[in-house]
Amino acid sequence: MTTVNILSGGAAQGLVRGLSDPFKTQTGFGIDGEFGAVGIMADKLRAGTAADLVILTQALLAKLAEEKLVSPTSISDVGRVETALAVRSRDPKVTVKTEADLREVLRSADAIFVPDTRASTAGQHVAKILDQLGIAYEVASRLKIFPNGAAAMRELASSSATRPIGCTQATEIIATDGIALSGALPPGCELVTMYSAGVTTRAAHPQQAAALIALLTGADRKELRQRAGFTG
């Protein structure tokens, strides 16, 4: 089967998976590609990895358009994604209303599962928040860092730690079996990221890529986006 190839942030993996059947029905094409830390996905495109479309942060899409790697007129916003806390499904959820609450939750965890703290949106934010809370050094040995949020959440689900917790984007938490969305980060620590999609300038299948973007962003898919963890 001919496929449309994607380079995407991990935040969109669950949503794309939910659209594979309607996309195949509409176009006859399958969907293939890579999902991971947005910085790494952008660098793969810059390095020449074949892709028909990219789904990354709005800011990165704008840069790639400036670099003439993405068609500016093709870019559409998919939705906003919140960075949030996760626990194993069998564990009690934590309530974090203030920075002090978050500091205590993170200090009491014996394992903290996060995505790449250099290349991923959520991972960079976690590193910033740990510094902001003044506990980066204290919890460094308990940080469990993985290439992307999906991998971090899978490892959280199977963790044998006593009091593990995870932090990544809500879409990656919702898409992972065995863990539960525990709640948003408190005021002063929150992060909400807009994700956008665009057709690459080297796309082998630009029409089908545009059709997939229309599915991702269409008003009739609003409920699916919300279930996947995207907001307006």
Q: Is the pTM of this model over 0.85?
A: yes
Residue 232 pLDDT > 80:
no
Q: pLDDT averaged over the chain? A: 95
The CATH code of domain 81-184 reads 3.40.190.10
Calpha distance 149→145 (Å, rounded): 9
Q: What ranges do the domains of the chain cover? A: 3-79+194-231, 81-184
Model pLDDT for residues 209-219, shown as the tens digit of each residue: 999 999 999 99
Model pLDDT for residues 92-143, shown as the tens digit of each residue: 999 899 999 999 999 999 999 999 999 898 999 999 999 999 999 999 999 9
Going by C-beta distance under 8 Å and a sequence separation of 6 or more, which residues neighbour residue 209?
A: 4, 52, 53, 74, 199, 200, 203
Q: Residue 67: what are its φ and ψ, rounded to 5°?
A: -85, 5
Calpha distance 203→5 (Å, rounded): 9
- The CATH number corresponding to 3-79+194-231 among 3.40.109.10, 3.40.50.2000, 3.40.190.10, 3.40.30.10 equals 3.40.190.10
Residue 155 C-alpha from the chain's centroid:
16
Nearest alpha carbon to residue 61 among 206, 220, 193: 193
Which two three-digit tokens encode residue 14?
A: 């669950």
